[in-house]
Structure 1
Amino acid sequence: MRVTMATMSRNYNDAIDALNTLQTPYAVIEARRQAGLRPDAQSVKEMRAYLARIGYSSHDLDRLNILHVAGTKGKGSTCAFADSILAHYRKRHEIPKKSGLFISPHLIAVRERIRIDSKPISEELFAKYFFQVWDMLEKSRAAEDVVALGTKPIYARYLTLLSYHVFLQEGVDLAVYETGIGGEFDATNVVDRPVASAISTLGIDHVFVLGHTIEEIAWHKAGIMKSGSPAFTVEQAPSALRVLRERAVEKGVDLKVLNIDSRLKGVQIRPDADFQKKNATLAIALVETALSRLDRSFASSPEALPQEFVDGLEQVVWRGRCEIKLEGKVVWHLDGAHTVDSLNTAARWFSGQCVERTGPKALIFNQQGRPEAINFLEGLYNATKSAADGSSFQHVIFCSNITYAGSGYKKDFVNRQHDPEAVKRLTQQHAFAEKWALLDPSANISVCSSIEEAINRVRDVGNTVGEKETVQALITGSLHLVGGALAILEGDDAL
């Protein structure tokens, strides 16, 4: 059904309902997959057309002084670190006047993706600007030779378009942008003159869109590098780094490969691991580059980080990543992880947190619509199993990403991109359960139709443990799962 001005009102829930109509249905995605159709240069051309349709050009985006970040692992953390550093710098120096942050996906509410001064924009502001963009797309005849009149970009691209409108209208003068998938053909890549770009650690992910090799993936990620703008990366697999360097030469870009910043010694980075210090290193380089342009009084020191940088790094808030919540007899550990490497990292972090605690361990896991995720489980098991008896989690629960047992998805979590029959039948979850049973026959394995049901099962285990024990529960895999869990643990409106 096409949503029109006549069929909608104008509040936040209405905006989310309208936004959800822009999701590409599973049947269409599958047809494209079967036909081998992938995003190409036309995707960016269409985004430029939609940008023109709401009254902007890529030149207007220069006012946002964008820091652009791509990567497979750590790009979200890099963006969060950069945004937090900017927040602390702004408090003391009033520069930038306003900062923006655009990320994906969201954890609890869609408006989390668009933040001003580190805070998700309000429901009222989201709805106001959402419908302004909606109406302009309905009425404008700009670029009709590229996109049909009255059409709108798909879900993620619409939100990208909306973020530009929000930030420009609200006077943001420095914005951090996380790419969605890839880089070269990503919706965010209409930015022609970023202040700087960064590419975090690369790995294998989104293979249908980006390719099956690290070299193909590196080619896509390198697409955000722009002539005239410095670019940064960290240690990569040799073949990936070779591709990044080749593309930098092609684009005339000065690409710097950074070791972990020596000034991080003594800074409390969480978790205290090299992968996170690499993300912090990229954030430091991005912000130093930006402040060198925006603040004439700013001067970086090779000896020590400014206190604002230290505070930003140590006090960063990045929900759903290495997060711990205490609830009665359950200690919840939440860490979104969508690749083999990131899951292994999550497992090692969890195991380290459990060393000095007693009580059973429980796992809640899902990766919807990704058959290859079944191969992630062995690494997760090996990273958490006991050296004494080979056991891992005593309780293992595989659930769908449906939020509530009774009412289904929270509006912000509606996802039409997965096979509805597979979700209904819990096809992937049963496959996960069978795999885990082979890995650890002693585990108590179950399948649940909702996140709420899975959480309640762990709570039930908590009611049976001894007085000095707690259940050590890890919720990992899909960020949609982690976000849904946080919504249940903290209430619908928690952000």
Structure 2
Amino acid sequence: TSPYLENFTERIEFDGKEISKKDLVSCSQEVFKAVDKMIAMGHESPTEFELVTAIGFLYFSQKPLDILILEVGLGGLGDSTNLIKKPLVTAFTSISYDHMDVLGETIEEIAYQKAGIIKAGCPVVSNVKDKRAIEVIKNVALEKDCEFYDASEINIDVQDSSLKGNTFIPGQLSSINSLILGRGEIIETEMVGMHQIENATCALTVLEVLNKKGIIKLDLGKVKYGIKTAKLKGRFEILQNSPYIIIDGAHNEAGVHALSKVINSNLSDKKVLLVVGMLADKKVDRLIARYNEINGDILASEPDSPRKLDSKILCQKIKDTGRDCICGGNWLEE
């Protein structure tokens, strides 16, 4: 996954285990040799993400892979993962305002850039909710003669949703003769929030497509176990229960909106203190508007990054919206 939270090795995993430091060094040395040759031939030096992608590809080429799950960088036309010309399936979970300096200012522009990972004749699964974005993705899929599966159309019967996770029954997707979807199967996930139910449903749809194509053979028990035990570091990760200490990496409007829904639904009887830090190159005012959906106090902090937004500036921007805010530096001194 990118970016990593604790260890760089999180970015490359095989069979549930992070790449070893020994393999990381070995693969990196091979890639750096190739980079030196490229530069000597007059080519530009690759970006960090391109280097990591190349290291990952080299590492995976040495492993007995059945299926490789690739997470894009920014996603889209210029993404280095586009080296894969014939993916088994391409999936979109959500599209929101992010990286607008590169991807575009409107949802339609961003969606068109994101749709650049769609390859001719390869099936596409979308869980995108924004109708403008769906239309763009669907049109690109049709232009490239791809089967299109809209997971956002699946009706979901939510049995339970709490800080312990979710229990739900996914409905049928009309374009697939399903083995799981629409069969009344109860699915559990330990990840918190309604958006994680939607993500799990998207994953189920991908599995159904792969099963339909004869690429995998679904085992219901293993699928249920995999979804139930799946975890993502830094995504509403509960570090402590009494009192609750929770970390979340929400960094765009959709992410903060999802975070606000989880907090307001599950912690409305608690006193909430948000410790918020942002990068200066984000759409700060839009993010603040989303954070203002959350009931609680705000402490403006700043991440350990050269791109950080000064906590005093963030604090003032929050106050400009009419909401009280504590500046992290002052609060810590007190």
* Normalised-by-shorter TM-score class: 0.7 to 0.9
Alignment map for 1:203-218 (pairs within 5 Å): 203-218=96-111
1:429, distance to aligned residue in structure 2 (A): 2.0
1:383 to 294, 299, 302: 294
Alpha carbons of 1:172 and 1:339: their partners in 2 closer, same or farther (altered >3 Å)? same
Alignment map for 1:20-59 (pairs within 5 Å): none
| Structure 2 equivalent of residue 333 of structure 1 | 246
Alpha carbons of 1:442 and 1:152: their partners in 2 closer, same or farther (altered >3 Å)? closer
| Structure 2 equivalent of residue 168 of structure 1 | 61
1:194, distance to aligned residue in structure 2 (A): 0.3
Higher helix share: 1
Say yes or no: does 1:130 pair with 2:12.
Answer: no
Distance 1:176 1:114 in 2: 10
| Structure 2 equivalent of residue 194 of structure 1 | 87
| Structure 2 equivalent of residue 242 of structure 1 | 135
Distance 2:73 2:121 in 1: 23
| Structure 2 equivalent of residue 354 of structure 1 | 267
Contact 2:277–2:302, Cα closer than 8 Å, also in 1 = yes
Say yes or no: does 1:256 pair with 2:176.
Answer: no
Alpha carbons of 1:169 and 1:152: their partners in 2 closer, same or farther (altered >3 Å)? farther
1:275, distance to aligned residue in structure 2 (A): 2.6
Return the letter of the residue paired with 1:185.
G
Distance 1:191 1:203 in 2: 24
User: What are the superposed Cα offsets for residues 234-286 of structure 1, whole Å, 9 maximum, x if unpaired?
Assistant: 25322222211221122111112123342485322345654322211221222
| Structure 2 equivalent of residue 12 of structure 1 | none
Contact 1:230–1:253, Cα closer than 8 Å, also in 2 = yes
Say yes or no: does 1:429 pair with 2:316.
Answer: no
| Structure 1 equivalent of residue 187 of structure 2 | 267
Contact 2:111–2:133, Cα closer than 8 Å, also in 1 = yes
Query: What value does the CA root-mean-square deviation take over the aligned residues?
Result: 2.8
Contact 1:182–1:217, Cα closer than 8 Å, also in 2 = no
Alpha carbons of 1:265 and 1:369: their partners in 2 closer, same or farther (altered >3 Å)? farther
Say yes or no: does 1:115 pair with 2:8.
Answer: no
Say yes or no: does 1:310 pair with 2:224.
Answer: yes
Distance 1:197 1:204 in 2: 21
Contact 1:320–1:334, Cα closer than 8 Å, also in 2 = yes
Distance 1:132 1:160 in 2: 13
Distance 2:266 2:115 in 1: 36
Return the letter of the residue paired with 1:240.
A
1:140, distance to aligned residue in structure 2 (A): 6.7
Say yes or no: does 1:179 pair with 2:61.
Answer: no
| Structure 2 equivalent of residue 446 of structure 1 | 327
Return the letter of the residue paired with 1:342.
G
Larger Rg: 1
Q: Give the number of equivalent residue pairs.
A: 306
Alignment map for 1:7-86 (pairs within 5 Å): none
Distance 2:311 2:46 in 1: 32
User: What are the superposed Cα offsets for residues 101-137 of structure 1, whole Å, 9 maximum, x if unpaired?
Assistant: xx21111122111111122112222112111211233
Distance 1:448 1:114 in 2: 36
Percent identity between matched residues is 23
Distance 1:364 1:272 in 2: 19
User: Is the partner of 1:326 in helix, strand or coil?
Assistant: strand
Distance 1:186 1:344 in 2: 26
With structure 1 as the length reference, what TM-score do the two structures score? 0.56
Distance 2:302 2:128 in 1: 36
Alpha carbons of 1:441 and 1:276: their partners in 2 closer, same or farther (altered >3 Å)? closer
| Structure 2 equivalent of residue 398 of structure 1 | 300
| Structure 2 equivalent of residue 367 of structure 1 | 278
Contact 2:9–2:18, Cα closer than 8 Å, also in 1 = yes
1:428, distance to aligned residue in structure 2 (A): 3.5
Return the letter of the residue paired with 2:56.
S
Contact 1:114–1:120, Cα closer than 8 Å, also in 2 = yes
Return the letter of the residue paired with 2:231.
V
User: Is the partner of 2:240 in helix, strand or coil?
Assistant: strand
| Structure 2 equivalent of residue 478 of structure 1 | none
